[in-house]
């Protein structure tokens, strides 16, 4: 078993994707925002850590274990999340953060979609799709022409979401 490498070409935007991108989903009780809208403080890291941890540990392609909270705050949070705060898309139910779609914009009109996670109780409600949709809109707003991601071949829910939003498997 291995990872599949997927690509979304946005130059030009596939016509079938235009409709999907323009139809924002309103999900009762769910609020969407970016990490840039949240103060960079201990409360932020305490809400983000369990979400990232669950996403990594639930990924079928992940080996085992996850960094301690201290290591996350020191090594992962600044480089992977806070440095890219405007493209870290989050969902919350009340005060609890329940979803994340991480995106890193590169300087060459490309982007890399990283971890997408929805906490177990919120799965199957369209939260991941809406987070991913918002990340693609951000790519378009920043002139991104190509988005890449990798998904473990047995992660069928994420493969389905990505394919529905126009990602295709890279060949060769």
Global pTM exceeds 0.85? yes
pLDDT of residue 150: 95
Q: Convert the pLDDT of each residue in 25-43 to its tens digit.
A: 788 999 999 999 999 999 9
Q: Convert the pLDDT of each residue in 35-66 to its tens digit.
A: 999 999 999 999 999 999 999 998 877 778 89
Q: What are phi and psi of 91, to 5 degrees?
A: -130, 140
Q: Which residues pair with 149 in a beta bridge?
A: 6
Placement of tokens 């498997």 in the chain: 169
Mean pLDDT of 133-152: 96
| All domains in the chain, ordered by first residue | 3-169 (3.40.630.30)
Sequence-distant (6+) residues with CB within 8 A of 122 are: 30, 91, 93, 98, 99
C-beta of residue 105 within 8 angstroms of C-beta of residue 142: yes
Reported in sequence order, the residue ranges of the chain that DSSP labels E, i.e. its strands, are: 3-9, 31-34, 88-93, 96-105, 110-118, 146-152, 168-169
- pLDDT, greater one: 100 or 60: 100
Predicted confidence band of residue 162 (pLDDT cuts 50, 70, 90): very high
- pLDDT, greater one: 4 or 13: 4
């Amino acid at each position: 078993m291995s990872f599949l490498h997927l690509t979304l070409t946005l130059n030009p935007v596939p016509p079938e994707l235009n409709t999907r991108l323009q139809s924002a989903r309103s999900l009762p009780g769910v609020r969407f925002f970016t990490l840039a809208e949240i103060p960079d403080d201990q409360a932020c890291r305490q809400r983000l850590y369990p979400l990232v941890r669950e996403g990594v540990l639930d990924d079928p392609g992940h080996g085992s274990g996850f960094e301690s909270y201290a290591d996350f705050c020191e090594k992962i949070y600044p480089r992977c999340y806070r440095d890219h705060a405007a493209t870290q898309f989050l969902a919350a139910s009340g005060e609890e953060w329940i979803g994340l779609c991480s995106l890193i914009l590169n300087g060459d009109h490309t982007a890399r979609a990283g971890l997408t996670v929805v906490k177990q109780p919120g799965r199957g409600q369209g939260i991941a799709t809406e987070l991913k949709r918002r990340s693609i809109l951000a790519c378009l707003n920043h002139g991104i022409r190509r988005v890449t991601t990798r998904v473990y071949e047995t992660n069928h829910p994420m493969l389905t979401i990505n394919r529905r939003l126009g990602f295709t498997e890279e060949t060769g």
